[in-house]
Structure 1
Amino acid sequence: MFTELCNQVFSQSIKDYHVKNDVHQDIVNPYESSSIEHLLYLKNWIDTVQWHLEDIIRDPAIDPVKALEIKRWIDRSNQERTDVVEYIDSYFLERYKTVQAAPEAKINTESPAWAVDRLSILALKIYHMLEEATRTDATPEHRAACQRKLDILLEQRRDLSTGIEDLLTDISTGKKYMKVYRQMKMYNDPSLNPVLYSSRK
């Protein structure tokens, strides 16, 4: 199943990142650049780096200049994340381009790739909640509370994976159809962000 592949690639990406556990390290994507695995690995790597940037920026003692630098890094990361999601949706559009949608076919509330995006974030939540649930320097109460949360996250991943598989089956059989709206982010565009275009006057 496609979601099994996603979860395997996401787990590998997270494991590879934590060998060095450094937001400045370069990605070494082990998959062929034209493959869907390459896109999935890249997607999760971006998410993993951003996860740790979000931790760093919440340090109450962080230097304000450093915080601004990281905030802008996160903004760039969000744009990269959106771009990769759109590449993944392009994969699905190509995969199902010959499917004839039934007259009664309906559109889903989100595209397959945006559901995969949530699956990638869940992989990170599961990895880090497992860390907390097994911390030897934490109290038994802390570990037990985190284990309960981990159980819910694992259930959530099973449910989301099932939902994604059902959506892909419905698209492949014409019961639902894909329609992708390219993201129109305004704050990064100098011609659409009033702060940016006003500063040029």
Structure 2
Amino acid sequence: MAFTEHCNTIFNQAIRDYHLTDNVNTPIHNPYDRDSIDFSLYMKCWIDTVQWHLEDIIRDPHIDPQEALSLKRRIDGSNQDRTDLVEQIDSYFRQQYSDVKPLDTARLNTESPAWAIDRLSILALKIYHMQEQVNRTDATSDHKEKCASKLAVLLEQQKDLSLAIDQLLEDIQAGEKYMKVYRQMKMYNDPSTNPVLYGNK
């Protein structure tokens, strides 16, 4: 099984598990061993799924401003958790390919494997929710046709991105490409680099 096929299976499982309750406060029950890559993939998609619904909730035009602020803080924390997990997944790949000696002609890729997998997780969510729109019984035929057209594009995109990721991993394994990971170093969460935070001390 290709690595991305494995990823998509776990992503779909996490999305299905979340929608058993469809509640952003549902406790996560990750079924995989904590030290495994599967645990990280499941956790990554679960975080993405919860955040997807938080983003829906915060766009309610009638939301209480205090609740909106609380949700914004929660989304900020979720984004940090997401970034941390992507970096954790990249650490897995660094370990996997630590014995590979890049060829003299090896090239650097535009993004690391884990950041591409991050996009694959989001795509799984887009596909799930676009399929929901296609299946709606309360929507017009025109709406469902437009969503079906968008769904076809998303499925093609998933196929292409999966292939590109698998090819990237093959190239790294063969020494034709090499990994170089830069930590995100987000400044707005750091009280020493965000001027609003260190200016209010």
Deviation at 1:173, TM superposition (A): 0.2
For residues 92-128 of structure 1, what are the alpha-carbon distances to aligned partners after superposition, in whole Å with 9 as ceiling and x for unaligned?
0000000000001010000000000000000000000
Corresponding residue pairs, total: 200
* TM-score when normalising by structure 1: 0.99
Q: TM-score, normalised by structure 2?
A: 0.99
- Distance in 2, Cα, partners of 1:193 & 1:26: 32
Q: Distance in 2 between matches of 1:93 and 1:39?
A: 15
Aligned to 1:3: 4
Rounded Cα–Cα distance in structure 2 between residues aligned with 1:33 and 1:5: 17
- Are residues 1:150 and 2:155 paired? no
Give the Cα–Cα distance (whole angstroms) in 2 for the partners of residues 124 and 159 of structure 1: 16
RMSD (CA atoms): 0.4
Q: How do 1:20-169 residues align onto structure 2 when only pairs under 5 Å count?
A: 20-169=21-170
**Which letter does structure 1 place at the counterpart of 2:89?**
I
Partners of 1:97 and 1:91 lie apart in 2 by 10
Identity of aligned residues (%): 63
AA aligned to 2:172 is: I
- Structure 1 residue 183: Cα displacement: 1.2
Which consecutive unaligned segments of at least 5 residues does structure 1 have? none
| Partner in structure 2 of residue 173 of structure 1 | 174
2:19 is equivalent to residue 18 of structure 1: yes
- The residue type equivalent to 1:92 in the other structure is F
Which runs of 4 or more aligned residues in structure 1 lie more than 3 Å from their structure 2 counterparts after TM superposition?
A: none
Q: CA deviation at 1:182?
A: 1.0
Deviation (angstroms), 1:193:
0.5
C-alpha separation between the residues in 2 aligned to 1:183 and 1:83? Answer: 9
Structure 1 Cα separation of the partners of residues 137 and 184 of structure 2:
44
Counterpart of 2:25, as a letter, is H
**Unaligned stretches of 5+ in structure 2?**
none
